[in-house]
Amino acid sequence: MTDVVHTPRVFSGIQPSGGLTLGNYLGAMKRFVQLQDAGDMPTIFCMVDLHAITVWQEPARLRHATRELCAGFIAAGIDPEKSILFNQSQVPEHAQLAWIFNCVARMGWMGRMTQWKDKAGKNSENASLGLFAYPALMAADIMIYHATHVPVGEDQKQHLELARDIAIKFNNDYDVSFFPVVEPLIEGAATRVMSLRDGSKKMSKSDPSDMSRINLTDDADAIARKIRKAKTDPAPLPDSVEGLADRPEARNLVNIYAALADTTAEAVIADHAGQQFGTFKPSLADLAVAKLDPISREMARLMQDVDQIDRILGRGAERAREIAAPILAQTYDIVGMVRAQGA
Ligand code: TYM
């Protein structure tokens, strides 16, 4: 097997399963925009609607959430001319490659995924088969473009390791070096944004408490109120980052500040050491409103023209298929599928 050097290419996805949170924005989307604007590698971003339905989604809500997510990408700075922006179900090659990967991945690998264990919980007999196979579809999302770099938040690390394992096993089984072994890009001050109500839990769109998260659709008042009410401890901010070690809520707010201000936790601490939360929280609220309110307004504006959003998604899917179709055809050849005459 000879080593093939794959052209660098960025891929990432977000589920349209409810609204976008500050966690999605800081952990993923903001990084997507930086990678797009750096211009070093082509960038492909996807609304993973096939992943969303691994748990029940009400159809009208899924449709709305997919369009709103597309509006969120654009409002955050993704330019559908520079990046390829589309929803997963419109590029059937994802599901087709996922089937091949279902036959490469092992049950044991899937069963060890912490997200599967968390989501299926004690009721795994009743979870969908799709939820179990979720990481194989995720690997297919990446590999169908031969993507090499995948920007994500910390919570996706295990899934990306599994994507690497699938690529390695496929290459070994068929004695090729066809699929790249992807590099996760888990970078920045906010790779794991925590709940505003509990510093030991990830900020998540599925948390029952809306006060635990900032949604990208929140208006300025809601953003400020949620930050004001965020759980903290009574001590002032320390004078070094090490002083945040056992203070998860304080650390979270400092990391959020750093990510919003495009700086580091160290720099935030240097500027705010000794401050009480009564002073720090209003500064953070002002910063969050200044950065997020324009995005939320632009999303609302874009959502007034869903036909335009659908056209953008249609064009994105066409461009995505131009890359995906030949990679699927080559995969089928490697696996030994007979290509029908004229196809
Ligand atoms: P999803 O939709 O749960 O989240 C989308 C992105 O947001 C990041 N993220 C966070 N980052 C920091 N702090 C948080 N609290 C937080 N919450 C979410 C996630 O890490 C992710 O980067 N399986 C993926 C979607 C997916 C995908 C892919 C990603 C499908 N195929 C291929 C990369 C490549 C997911 O459910 O993300």
* E strands in the chain: 10-14, 43-47, 84-87, 149-151, 183-185
Nearest CA to ligand 1 atom 26: 13
Res 11 pLDDT > 90: yes
- Please state, in angstroms and rounded to a whole number, the distance separating the CA atoms of residues 100 and 133: 12
Phi, psi of 169 (to 5 degrees): -65, -40
Inter-residue contact 280 to 244 (CB < 8 Å): no
Res 106 pLDDT > 70: yes
Res 1 pLDDT > 60: no
Q: Extract the tokens encoding 214.
A: 């900032």
| Helix/strand/coil percent split, the chain, to 5 | 60, 5, 35
Q: In sequence order, which residues have a C-beta less than 8 Å from that of residue 318 and are 6 or more positions away?
A: none
- Please state, in angstroms and rounded to a whole number, the distance separating the CA atoms of residues 259 and 117: 30
Interior angle at CA 88, CA 328 and CA 308, nearest 5: 125
Average pLDDT over the chain reads 95
Nearest CA to ligand 1 atom 7: 24
pLDDT of residue 28: 96
Q: Extract the tokens encoding 147.
A: 């993507």
What is the CB < 6 Å shell around ligand 1? Answer: 11-15, 23-24, 27-28, 48, 51, 138, 141-142, 150, 152-153, 155-156, 159, 190-193, 202-203
Res 93 pLDDT > 90: yes
Domains detected in the chain: 2-191+305-335 (3.40.50.620), 210-301 (1.10.240.10)
Q: Is 202 a catalytic residue?
A: yes
Instruction: Please measure the distance between the N-terminal and C-terminal CA atoms of the chain and give it in whole angstroms.
Output: 29
- Dump pLDDT digits (tens) for 54-87: 999 999 999 999 999 999 999 999 999 999 999 9
The burial class, CB within 10 Å (0-12 / 13-18 / 19+), for 164 is: middle
User: How far lies 134's CA from each of 53, 101, 110, 120, in Å?
Assistant: 10, 11, 9, 12
> Which residue among the candidates 119, 226, 281, 291 is catalytic per the annotation?
119
